[in-house]
């Protein structure tokens, strides 16, 4: 069975008493462990909706999402929250760092929620920060960091707990071209070194070119799915 499997996923949004609009239309998708995938397509094609459904942040109107043998769409909200906490890392376009916490505290936040010992958290933060070149920023708060630095902290937070899957929604959208390219190289290195499955959405040709598999959406359906 694939590491991640989407079967007949549909997402319909109500826009008034009678009108509806389709966000996703009968998506079938098999993803193996360790893949490095970009989802692209025009605005409104369903990229963010698909990521949110995969990550259990949004429930499909119809269909099943199975991650590493667990059918997410059959879980209670509490069980789904636990699954997200322990197995899925998220990188958001707006970084979503906690402003009152230092970079170190932001990076270890998920591990703290998981109840991991402080010594383990410290060691893992130091390791990930070195890999991402932010070990000299750990005592700074988000408002003391540039956009590129904040996004690296956000990536560090996502990977620190060693999730099986990372979902990144337009992770380079607020970065200049050099920082965007650096971030993609770092994420690809993490993908290869730690065998983390990474799925990200983007409309940036440079970002799309870095992926090992490209899935193109149009009007909520898969238009192309190409490896290599």
Give the tens place of pLDDT for each residue, 169-214.
988 888 888 888 888 888 898 899 888 999 999 988 988 999 999 9
pLDDT at 19 over 60: no
Give the tens place of pLDDT for each residue, 159-178.
899 899 999 998 888 888 88
Give Cα separations from 189 to 79, 130, 133, 174, 193 (angstroms).
Answer: 31, 13, 13, 21, 6
Percent of the chain at pLDDT exceeding 70: 96
Domains in the chain (CATH in brackets) are 4-97+163-227 (3.40.50.300)
Residues in contact with 195: Cβ distance below 8 Å, sequence separation at least 6, in sequence order: 33, 34
pLDDT of the residue at 21: 65
A 10 A CB-CB count for 177 gives: 10
Question: What distance in Å separates the CA atoms of residue 179 and residue 165, rounded to the nearest whole number?
Answer: 23
| Joined tokens for residue 41 | 């397509």
pLDDT at 88 over 60: yes
Which region, left, alpha or beta, applies to residue 24 given φ > 0 means left and ψ of -120 to 50 means alpha? Answer: beta
Question: What distance in Å separates the CA atoms of residue 173 and residue 158, rounded to the nearest whole number?
Answer: 17
DSSP summary character for residue 179: H
pLDDT at 81 over 90: yes
pLDDT of the residue at 183: 84
- Among the residue ranges 94-108, 135-149, 161-175, the one predicted with the least confidence is 161-175
Nearest to 158 by CA among 38, 78, 58, 55: 55
pLDDT of the residue at 18: 57
- Among the residue ranges 48-57, 95-104, 147-156, 173-182, the one predicted with the least confidence is 173-182
Write out the H or E segment, with its range, that includes residue 48: helix 47-54
Look at strands 88-91 and 221-227 and give their pairing: unpaired
């Amino acid at each position: 069975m694939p590491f991640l499997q989407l079967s007949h996923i549909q997402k319909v949004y109500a826009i008034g008493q009678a009108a509806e609009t389709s966000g996703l239309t009968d998506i079938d998708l098999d993803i193996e462990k360790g893949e490095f995938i970009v989802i692209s397509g025009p605005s409104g094609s369903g990229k963010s909706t698909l990521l949110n459904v995969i990550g259990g942040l949004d429930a499909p109107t119809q269909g099943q999402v199975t991650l590493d043998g667990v059918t997410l769409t059959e879980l209670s909200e509490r069980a789904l929250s636990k699954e997200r906490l322990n197995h899925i890392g998220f990188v958001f376009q707006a970084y979503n760092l906690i402003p009152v916490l230092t970079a170190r505290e932001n990076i270890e936040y998920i591990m703290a929620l998981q109840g991991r010992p402080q010594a383990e958290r410290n060691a893992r933060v130091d390791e990930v920060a070195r890999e991402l070149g932010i070990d000299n920023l750990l005592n700074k708060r988000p408002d003391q960091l540039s956009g590129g630095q904040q996004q690296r902290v956000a990536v560090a937070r996502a990977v620190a707990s060693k999730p099986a899957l990372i979902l990144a929604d337009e992770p380079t959208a607020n970065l200049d071209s050099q920082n965007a390219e650096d971030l993609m190289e770092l994420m690809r290195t993490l993908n290869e070194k730690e065998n983390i499955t990474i799925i990200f959405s983007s409309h940036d040709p440079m970002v799309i070119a870095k992926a090992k598999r490209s899935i193109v959406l149009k009007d909520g359906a898969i238009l192309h799915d190409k490896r290599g």
